[in-house]
């Protein structure tokens, strides 16, 4: 979808702690951009978002990473508001998926052109996701990688952490219901529920068929508890050989529920602890976003 560029009222949500604190360096460039385009704007820090009436804005720009985007999603879901992204986080996976470069000025060019697309969103109990939800190994990598390591190595920090956590894989039993009545009981070391499957920008993906606007979730369950077998199956998945076997399961569905006795997971790269059963429903084409 292509719209003429418009920015009558813009809310800029800045996460000064994202990535290597790159967001702090963007403000001057953004100010010049808004002044040049003669648009109304307001800057806030991400922790102030809950106190802002977003009805006053037709565009909300995330200056940060995927976690910052996640906090904005409830404020634009199902509305005509448009999400803009200035990627300043550790991973910036959604930005990469929709073709937004890490360079601030180039990212602003995407917004200025006004091309938009509609993408799906997951509702996970009372939370939302536009990327993926991870349990087990995937959650450990995201949630337990020290911020100091991320500040020093950026996205590579997750790779180093993955090597370490693979040496102490833990299995857990999951009782799963999907597409309302199909049931699966499995002992697994990792479960990924993906809307966008890209990792390491767009270099690899948990599924080349994983699309942002197909109304489906891509489910990846890895059962191997041996580090070598685990990585063999994981590599098969990210290089497109995602057939189900004794060590891995892959399928797509429109909704999924996981019986839960309290677990940690990540939602769009942010650590979460969920006490209740986990119900994931897809809300098709419910988020409008500036894209390439």
Q: What is the DSSP string of 30-76?
A: HHHHHHHTT-EEEEEEGGGGGGS-GGG-SEEEEEE-HHHHHHHHHHH
Per-residue confidence band for 290, with pLDDT thresholds at 50, 70 and 90: very high
Per-residue confidence band for 233, with pLDDT thresholds at 50, 70 and 90: confident
Does one domain contain both 147 and 265? yes
Does one domain contain both 192 and 111? no
Q: Count CB neighbours of 8 within 10 A.
A: 9
Does one domain contain both 229 and 96? no
Mean pLDDT, residues 7-24: 78
Quote the pLDDT of residue 5: 47
Does one domain contain both 109 and 169? no
Mean pLDDT, residues 138-157: 81
Does one domain contain both 68 and 171? no
Quote the pLDDT of residue 23: 66
Per-residue confidence band for 46, with pLDDT thresholds at 50, 70 and 90: very high
Q: Count CB neighbours of 194 within 10 A.
A: 24
Does one domain contain both 161 and 115? no
Dmax (CA) for the chain in angstroms is: 60
- Higher per-residue pLDDT: 68 or 238: 68
Q: How far apart are CA 169 and CA 14, in angstroms?
A: 36
In a domain, 230, yes or no: yes
Domain boundary among 86, 121, 156: 121
pLDDT tens profile 82-134: 999 999 888 899 999 999 999 999 999 999 999 999 999 999 999 999 999 99
Domain boundary among 121, 141, 157: 121
Average pLDDT, the chain: 87
- Higher per-residue pLDDT: 47 or 204: 47
Number of domains in the chain: 2
Residue 100 belongs to domain spanning? 9-121
In contact, 289 and 98? CB cutoff 8 Å: yes
Predicted TM-score (pTM) of this structure: 0.89
| pLDDT above 90: percentage of residues in the chain | 56
Quote the pLDDT of residue 66: 94
Mean pLDDT, residues 131-148: 88
In a domain, 290, yes or no: no
Query: Which range in 38-42, 179-183, 260-264 is most confidently predicted, on average pLDDT?
Result: 179-183
pLDDT tens profile 236-262: 766 666 666 778 898 999 999 999 877
Quote the pLDDT of residue 235: 73
Quote the pLDDT of residue 26: 86
Does one domain contain both 166 and 212? yes
Domain boundary among 81, 106, 121: 121
Mean pLDDT, residues 229-233: 77
Q: Is a pLDDT exceeding 70 seen at residue 183?
A: yes
In a domain, 1, yes or no: no
Q: Is a pLDDT exceeding 90 seen at residue 231?
A: no
User: How big is the CA angle at 82 (ends 81 and 88), to the nearest 5 degrees?
Assistant: 135
Does one domain contain both 162 and 243? yes
DSSP string, 246-289: SSEEEEEESEEEE--SSEEEEETTEEEEE-SPEEEEEEEEEEEE
Min mean pLDDT across 61-65, 92-96, 164-168 is at 164-168
Quote the pLDDT of residue 1: 45
263-267 and 132-136 as β-strands: parallel, antiparallel, unpaired? Answer: antiparallel
Does one domain contain both 162 and 45? no
Q: How far apart are CA 176 and CA 215, in angstroms?
A: 19
Separation in Å, CA 202 to CA 96, 100, 193, 242: 6, 11, 18, 18
Beta-bridge partners for 33: none
Q: Count CB neighbours of 292 within 10 A.
A: 12
Does one domain contain both 108 and 223? no
Residue 44, CB-side half-sphere exposure with 13 Å CA sphere: 18
Quote the pLDDT of residue 230: 77
């Amino acid at each position: 979808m292509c719209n003429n560029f418009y920015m009558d009222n813009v809310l800029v949500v800045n996460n000064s702690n994202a990535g290597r604190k790159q967001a702090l360096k963007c403000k001057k460039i953004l100010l010049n951009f808004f002044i040049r385009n003669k648009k109304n704007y307001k800057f806030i820090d991400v922790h102030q978002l809950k106190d802002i009436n977003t009805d006053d804005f037709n565009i909300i720009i995330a200056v940060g990473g995927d976690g910052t985007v996640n906090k904005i999603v409830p404020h634009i879901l199902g509305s005509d508001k448009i999400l803009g992204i200035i990627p300043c986080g550790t991973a910036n996976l959604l930005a990469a998926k929709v073709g937004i470069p890490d360079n601030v000025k180039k990212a602003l060019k995407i917004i200025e052109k006004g091309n938009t697309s509609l993408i799906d969103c997951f509702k996970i109990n009372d939370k939302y996701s536009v990327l993926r939800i991870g349990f087990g190994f995937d959650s450990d990598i995201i949630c337990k990688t020290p911020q100091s390591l991320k500040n020093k190595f950026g996205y590579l920090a997750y790779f180093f952490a993955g090597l370490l956590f693979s040496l102490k894989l833990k299995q857990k039993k999951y009782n799963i219901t999907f597409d309302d009545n199909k049931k699966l009981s499995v002992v697994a070391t990792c479960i990924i529920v993906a809307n966008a499957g890209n990792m390491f920008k767009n270099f690899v993906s948990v599924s080349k068929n994983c699309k942002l606007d197909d109304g489906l979730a891509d489910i990846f369950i890895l059962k191997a508890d041996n580090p070598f077998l685990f990585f063999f199956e994981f590599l098969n998945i990210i290089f497109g050989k995602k057939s189900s076997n004794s060590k891995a399961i892959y399928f797509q569905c429109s909704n999924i529920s996981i019986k839960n006795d309290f677990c940690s997971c990540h939602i769009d790269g942010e650590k979460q602890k969920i006490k209740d059963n986990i119900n994931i429903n897809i809300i098709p084409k419910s988020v409008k976003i500036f894209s390439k």
